[in-house]
């Protein structure tokens, strides 16, 4: 009885802490940047945007435009993309029962990247082609990785699927590079997109929002079912849970989340493995906890990562994908070592 009550009491605390971290990171993202704007003036200007509140911030029109048209949408896009990637990673890990599963490592991001590159290069005039292409590519990449990993059976241990994902990612990246050669003039645009960018403004935010809403709701609603699947398909079936249907739904929702994130921000790696793993370590392994906390934690992580990207070498900017790789690559090695130690 004590063990069951403990997590129930701790859950609201972790949610409050995660929301506090997200709020703090978003405030920091609005207050800091390459342009020198007084934090107090930023606070006053944000208050002036509230309904029925009229405050003179003292900001010039140019500074107001910088805050509202550049910083605010950038912070919101980073939050949405980070939340999507972290939730997708948690969803993939629940479906495949593998703590190393990740949109970037499972071929989902590479598939979405290949399809998006093809849409940019081959279908530049087709409106709305990028989100659709990214979703098809994400599903196709995961399907190839899962099929390849399944052929090896269980002999390879928990890393088999990840190795298959790495192979599929390399293959799809090679095709992506080949497609880029059709239009050399698009290389700069594609290259900037590959390294990650959340500075596309309000258009980027409104583009990703509906896909984010659908995929997030689907994943959050399946948290309890992923917990049931973790005990095995036979036990889940005895409880009335259709394992195949749950896996397919979660897989499609996670792929939609990955595709939406990739379509607007490019290839940003390691968010989907770092955040869910940290959440499990801190708040337990139940997906009813892991999924929402991963969404909030991923949002805060990417907002802070973007803040680092645009301030560390200001007035120039680092691609945000570089920042996440600096953090995620060592973390992935540590997770891999822990997983191998547990397997032996």
How do residues 248-281 score in pLDDT, each as one tens digit?
899 889 988 988 888 888 888 889 888 999 998 8
Has residue 245 got a pLDDT over 70? yes
More confident residue, 204 or 91: 91
Looking at residue 4, its pLDDT comes to: 40
Looking at residue 186, its pLDDT comes to: 67
Question: Would you place residue 340 in the very low, low, confident or very high pLDDT band (cuts 50, 70, 90)?
Answer: low
Looking at residue 153, its pLDDT comes to: 56
Q: Is 8 exposed, middle or buried (0-12, 13-18, 19+ CB in 10 A)?
A: exposed
More confident residue, 142 or 343: 142
Q: What percent of the chain has pLDDT over 90?
A: 19
Looking at residue 99, its pLDDT comes to: 78
Q: What Rg do the C-alpha atoms of the chain give, in angstroms? A: 21
Q: What is the pTM of this model?
A: 0.84
Has residue 185 got a pLDDT over 50? yes
Mean pLDDT of the chain: 81
CB 174 within 8 A of CB 111: no
Query: Distances from the Cα of 325 to the Cαs of 67, 195, 302, in angstroms?
Result: 28, 10, 12
Q: What is the mean pLDDT of residues 38-43?
A: 78
Looking at residue 127, its pLDDT comes to: 55
More confident residue, 301 or 105: 301
Q: What percent of the chain has pLDDT over 70?
A: 87
Write phi, then psi, for 343 (nearest 5 degrees).
-70, -30
Q: What is the mean pLDDT of residues 131-136?
A: 81
Q: Is 271 exposed, middle or buried (0-12, 13-18, 19+ CB in 10 A)?
A: buried
CB 111 within 8 A of CB 141: yes
Q: What is the mean pLDDT of residues 225-248?
A: 80
More confident residue, 299 or 158: 299
pLDDT, tens digit, 9 for 90 and up, residues 69-127: 888 899 999 999 999 999 999 998 988 887 778 887 778 888 888 888 888 777 766 65
More confident residue, 160 or 219: 219
Looking at residue 218, its pLDDT comes to: 95
């Amino acid at each position: 009885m004590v063990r069951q009550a403990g997590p129930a009491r701790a859950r609201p605390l972790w949610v409050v802490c995660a929301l506090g971290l997200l709020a703090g990171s978003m405030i920091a993202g609005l207050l800091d940047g390459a342009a020198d704007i007084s934090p107090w003036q930023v606070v006053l200007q944000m208050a002036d945007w509230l309904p029925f509140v009229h405050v003179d911030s003292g900001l010039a029109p140019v500074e107001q435009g910088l805050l509202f048209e550049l910083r605010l949408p950038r912070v919101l896009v980073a939050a949405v993309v980070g939340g999507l990637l972290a939730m997708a990673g948690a969803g993939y890990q629940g479906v495949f029962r593998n703590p190393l599963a990740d949109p970037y490592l499972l071929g989902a991001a590479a598939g979405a990247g290949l399809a998006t590159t093809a849409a940019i290069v081959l279908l530049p005039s087709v409106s709305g082609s990028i989100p659709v292409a990214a979703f098809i590519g994400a599903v196709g990449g995961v399907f190839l990785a899962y099929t390849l990993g399944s052929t090896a059976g269980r002999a390879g241990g928990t890393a088999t699927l990840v190795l298959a994902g790495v192979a599929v990612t390399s293959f799809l990246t090679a095709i992506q590079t080949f497609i880029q050669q059709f239009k050399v003039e698009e290389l700069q645009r594609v290259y900037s997109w590959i390294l990650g960018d959340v500075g596309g403004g309000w258009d980027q935010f409104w583009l990703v929002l509906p896909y984010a809403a659908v995929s997030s709701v689907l994943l959050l609603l399946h948290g309890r079912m992923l917990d049931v699947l973790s005990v095995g398909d036979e036990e889940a079936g005895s409880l009335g849970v259709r394992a195949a249907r749950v896996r397919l739904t979660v897989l499609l929702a996670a792929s939609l989340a990955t595709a939406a994130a990739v379509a607007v921000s490019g290839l940003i790696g390691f968010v989907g493995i770092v955040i869910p793993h940290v959440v499990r370590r801190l708040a337990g392994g139940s997906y009813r906890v892991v999924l929402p906390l991963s969404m909030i934690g991923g949002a805060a992580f990417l907002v802070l990562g973007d803040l680092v990207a645009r301030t560390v070498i200001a007035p120039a900017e680092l691609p945000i994908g570089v920042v996440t790789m600096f953090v995620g690559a060592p973390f992935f090695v540590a997770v891999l070592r822990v997983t191998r130690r547990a397997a032996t």
